[in-house]
Amino acid sequence: MTKEERRNKILKGLEVAYQKMIELKRKNNSEIVIVKEGKIVKIKP
């Protein structure tokens, strides 16, 4: 497996993890904490 293939698999896995996290946050009606322009921001999914 080349470095590029490995990198693509990791990115695809992260994408799936983010989608699952958003679904869970919606289900539990909780906020997502992100950093936007150097500030910590809480948003509703």
Residue pLDDT, tens place only, 3-45: 999 999 999 999 999 999 999 999 999 999 999 999 999 998 8
Look at residue 38 and give its three-state secondary structure. Answer: coil
Residue 37 φ/ψ region, left for φ over 0, alpha for ψ in the -120 to 50 degree band, beta for the rest: left
Residue range of the domain that includes 17? 3-43
Task: Give me 38's structure tokens.
Answer: 């150097």
Task: Please tell me the total count of domains within the chain.
Answer: 1
pLDDT at 30: 94
pTM: 0.72
